[in-house]
């Protein structure tokens, strides 16, 4: 008597057109789910990065700041705080991320015979909160170099690609670049490294403010608490040297964008999973039930119910496994190649998470095996005379 694996292989080869159709359909469905699942990871990272680049939505100010005067002066105050506040926030793991310490003060900048007022701003690279590592939101500025805002450069007559040296507080510094106009205070700023600014302004270890991104929106939406209340109470427990200013519209816009996109992506992914499940159930049942004539013949020559079950279920599993492997690999590779073009902010660091195709493959094969059991059991327990001649 022919072994079950051999019989499965012969049956697949004998009905190569039907087998190829089933493999192709499974490959298309699994490939579609895999493509979207991997693309979703890249899309969520891309959306998070773009939402982050909207800007900081939390500002930590010295507790002595008069906030009315702060806003009247266009977001500037002469008050400073010790940079130990930054370390306290990190040690207590405040509900913040991408902390950017800054020191700023109005100054005058010179180039050749020209002079211009500007806002000198020293800042460091963004500091991630321990346990929340992220790619830097703000990169550090080279030591002993400056970046000029577009309006300052225009007032001094410095072109974007022109090598230049400017004078600030009696010190001559090379211009690393002229930033493009963005319609904010940065157009009138001179950006330098934080330590250099502290030296130029003779304010060692002092900060004017710390900009950051809150990490409480999802939690507040779940509990119903206001984010500014949560953050203010948290900051009060950490230090009495600083107060918090939350940019509500920016913070809410970022949260709403992320929530809406996550909801839409979940709907699409769940729909694809349902389509995959229905397709495998339909194809497996059809592939098993159309073999009723063969089942009767095999029963007549001595194949028992258990062996028939193994034959019918095994055939469905093998075909589904082959289709799922082809579709999973194809969907992952196509998704990866397209992501490098579509996701500019994260494309260079985007990598395939192979656990997702493997999970989809496992679910597809398990679903095919379970689905094949019921019609296979029905066919295997019928009398041979009831099956022979009943092929549809």
Give the pLDDT confidence score for residue 174 in this predicted structure.
93
| Residues whose CB is less than 8 angstroms from the CB of residue 135 and which lie 6 or more positions away in sequence, other chains included | 49, 349
Per-residue pLDDT of the chain (392 residues; tens, 9 = 90+): 567 677 677 777 767 787 788 888 888 888 888 888 877 767 777 776 666 666 778 899 999 999 888 888 888 889 999 999 999 999 988 888 889 999 999 999 999 889 999 999 999 988 888 876 666 667 778 888 999 999 999 999 998 888 889 999 888 999 998 998 888 888 999 999 999 999 999 999 999 999 888 876 555 545 455 677 778 888 888 988 998 888 777 777 777 777 777 777 788 878 888 888 888 778 777 766 666 656 655 655 556 566 777 777 787 888 888 888 998 888 888 877 777 666 765 555 566 667 778 888 888 888 888 777 766 566 555 555 454 555 44
Counting Cβ atoms within 10 Å, is residue 330 exposed (0-12), middle (13-18) or buried (19+)? middle
Structure tokens at 255: 């949260």
* Secondary structure (DSSP) of 134-172: ---SSPPPPTT-EEE-HHHHHHHT--TT---EEEETTEE
Residue 392 to residue 389: CA distance in whole angstroms: 9
Nearest to 54 by CA among 300, 352, 345: 345
**Whether the Cβ atoms of residue 357 and residue 34 lie closer than 8 Å to each other:** yes
Give the pLDDT confidence score for residue 16 in this predicted structure.
78
Residue 389 to residue 384: CA distance in whole angstroms: 10
Nearest to 286 by CA among 181, 188, 187, 391: 391
Residue 70 to residue 178: CA distance in whole angstroms: 27
Residue 20 to residue 139: CA distance in whole angstroms: 53
Nearest to 387 by CA among 281, 289, 311: 289
Give the pLDDT confidence score for residue 392 in this predicted structure.
46
Q: How far apart are the first and last CA of the chain?
A: 27
**Strand pairing partners for 102?**
123, 209
**Whether the Cβ atoms of residue 56 and residue 212 lie closer than 8 Å to each other:** yes
Nearest to 291 by CA among 199, 183, 207, 375: 375
Residue 61 to residue 68: CA distance in whole angstroms: 13
**Whether the Cβ atoms of residue 241 and residue 85 lie closer than 8 Å to each other:** yes
User: Dihedral of the CA atoms 192, 193, 194, 198 (nearest 10)?
Assistant: -70
Give the pLDDT confidence score for residue 133 in this predicted structure.
61
Structure tokens at 267: 């709907």
C-alpha separations of 129 from 197, 206, 213, 345 in Å: 24, 20, 10, 21
Instruction: Provide the b/e sequence for 183-216 (b: ≥16 CB within 10 Å).
Output: eeebbbbbbbbbebbbebbeeeebbbbbbbbbbb
Structure tokens at 8: 């499965």
H and E: helices and strands count for the chain: 13, 11
Strand pairing report for 242-246 and 171-178: unpaired
Nearest to 117 by CA among 167, 152, 145: 152
| Residues whose CB is less than 8 angstroms from the CB of residue 305 and which lie 6 or more positions away in sequence, other chains included | 377, 380, 381
């Amino acid at each position: 008597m022919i072994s079950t694996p051999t019989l499965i292989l012969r049956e697949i080869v004998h009905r190569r057109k039907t087998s190829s159709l089933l493999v192709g359909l499974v490959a298309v469905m699994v490939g579609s789910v895999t493509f979207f699942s991997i693309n979703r990871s890249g899309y969520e990272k891309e959306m998070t990065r773009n939402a982050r680049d909207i800007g900081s939505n939390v500002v930590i100010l010295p507790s002595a700041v008069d906030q009315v005067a702060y806003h009247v002066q266009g977001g500037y105050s002469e008050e400073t705080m010790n940079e130990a506040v930054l370390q306290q926030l990190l040690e207590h793991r405040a509900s913040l991320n991408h902390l950017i310490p800054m020191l700023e003060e109005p100054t005058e900048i010179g180039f050749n015979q020209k002079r211009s007022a500007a806002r000198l701003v020293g800042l460091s690279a963004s500091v991630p909160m321990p346990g929340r590592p992220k790619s830097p939101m703000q990169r550090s500025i080279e030591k002993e170099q400056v970046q000029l805002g577009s309006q300052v450069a225009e007032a001094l007559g410095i072109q974007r690609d022109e090598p230049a040296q400017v004078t600030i507080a009696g010190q001559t510094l090379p211009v690393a670049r002229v930033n493009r106009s963005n319609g904010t205070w940065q157009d009138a700023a001179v950006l330098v490294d934080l330590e250099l600014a502290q030296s130029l302004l003779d304010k060692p270890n002092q900060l004017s403010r710390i900009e950051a991104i809150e990490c409480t929106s999802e939690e507040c939406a779940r509990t119903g608490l206001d984010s500014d209340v949560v953050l203010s109470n948290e900051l009060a427990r950490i230090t009495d040297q600083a107060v918090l200013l939350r940019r509500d519209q920016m913070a809410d816009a970022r949260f709403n964008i992320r929530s809406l996109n996550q909801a839409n992506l979940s709907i699409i992914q769940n729909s694809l999973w349902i389509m995959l499940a229905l397709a495998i159930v339909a194809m497996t049942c059809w592939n098993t039930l159309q073999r009723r004539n063969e089942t009767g013949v095999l029963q007549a020559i001595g194949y028992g119910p258990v062996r028939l079950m193994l034959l019918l279920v095994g055939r469905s599993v093998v075909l589904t496994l082959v289709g799922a492997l082809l579709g999973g690999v194809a969907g992952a590779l196509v998704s990866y190649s397209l992501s490098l073009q579509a996701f500019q902010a994260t494309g260079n660091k985007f990598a395939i998470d192979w656990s997702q195709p493997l999970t989809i493959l496992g679910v597809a094969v398990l679903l095919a095996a379970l689905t094949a059991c019921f019609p296979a059991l029905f066919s295997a327990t019928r009398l041979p005379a009831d099956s022979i001649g009943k092929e549809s």
